[in-house]
Amino acid sequence: MSEEIFKAMAQSVMDGDADQSAELARQALAAGIAPLDAINQGFVLGVNEVGRQYGAGDMFLPDLVMAGEAMKSAVAVLEPEMQRSGTQRKMLGKVVLGTVKGDIHEIGKTLVGTMLTANGFQVFDLGTDVPTPKFVEKARETNADIVGLSALLTTTMTVQRDVIESLKEAGLKDKVKVMVGGAPVTRGWAAEIGAEGYSEDAIGAVAVAKKLMGL
């Protein structure tokens, strides 16, 4: 049963069928499938395949857009359940989160925010294409513990370094830890730009954020 529904989820994203993706997400919840399993074993496989075919020139921008919309509609159904099933209630720390300037990829960043919230962090999600000064302002305003920077493009991952430099210039870098992530981002890149945290996925981001808080 699970195998079939996971396959159908991936296919719905590849077809760019947002209604079908949302319906399959609802069916998964009704069948007791964990929301994160639905994402990681179902929908993400579809969006990765679209990304692969787009990279190979076999799919085109509209396919990418529609796959993104389908993935978003599924996540929108699953998100409330992920937040509800968060076990920890004590506030563990404040995280200012966003996708850096020039980059509008939001799905992975939103998942990271959802998982952090579900696990007890207070998340200030600034959205996508966030101007560098906005991260600094929000970190100061909220007295944030962590600034989380997502980047999905090789051309925008360098902006993560700009944000870190701006935090330093604003005198905030000793108060705030930085966590970076996104498909092209690596542990090596994180170390090179002076980010204290790196995770390759949303679950890992929770563990990294806890570590950065000394928990």
Which residue's CB is nearer to ligand B1M, number 1 or number 145? 145
Provide the minimum distance between the beta carbon of 72 and ligand B1M in the complex, in angstroms, as a whole number. Answer: 6
Which residue's CB is nearer to ligand B1M, number 1 or number 67? 67
Which residue's CB is nearer to ligand B1M, number 120 or number 148? 148
CA 82 to chain centre: 14
In whole angstroms, what is the distance from residue 208 CA to residue 13 CA? 29
Give the pair of three-digit tokens for residue 1. Answer: 């049963």
Nearest alpha-carbon partner for 183 in 122, 105, 130: 105
Provide the minimum distance between the beta carbon of 166 and ligand B1M in the complex, in angstroms, as a whole number. Answer: 16
Q: Is the separation of the CB atoms in 101 and 133 below 8 Å?
A: no
Residues at the site binding ligand B1M, with contacts judged by CB under 6 A: 44, 47-48, 50-51, 54-55, 61, 64-65, 67-68, 71-72, 102-109, 111-112, 148-150, 152-155, 179-184, 199, 201-202, 205
- CA angle in degrees (0–180, nearest 5) for 191-153-21: 115
Provide the minimum distance between the beta carbon of 169 and ligand B1M in the complex, in angstroms, as a whole number. Answer: 21
Which residue's CB is nearer to ligand B1M, number 143 or number 155? 155
Which residue's CB is nearer to ligand B1M, number 32 or number 57? 57
Strands (E), 100-207: 121-125, 146-150, 177-181, 197-198
- Hey, what's the torsion of the CAs at 161, 163, 164, 168, to 10 degrees? 140
Q: Is the separation of the CB atoms in 181 and 207 below 8 Å?
A: no
Provide the minimum distance between the beta carbon of 101 and ligand B1M in the complex, in angstroms, as a whole number. Answer: 10
Which residue's CB is nearer to ligand B1M, number 91 or number 135? 135
> Which amino acid is located at 104 in the chain?
I
Buried b (16+ CB within 10 A) or exposed e, 87-102: eeeeebbbbbbbbbbe
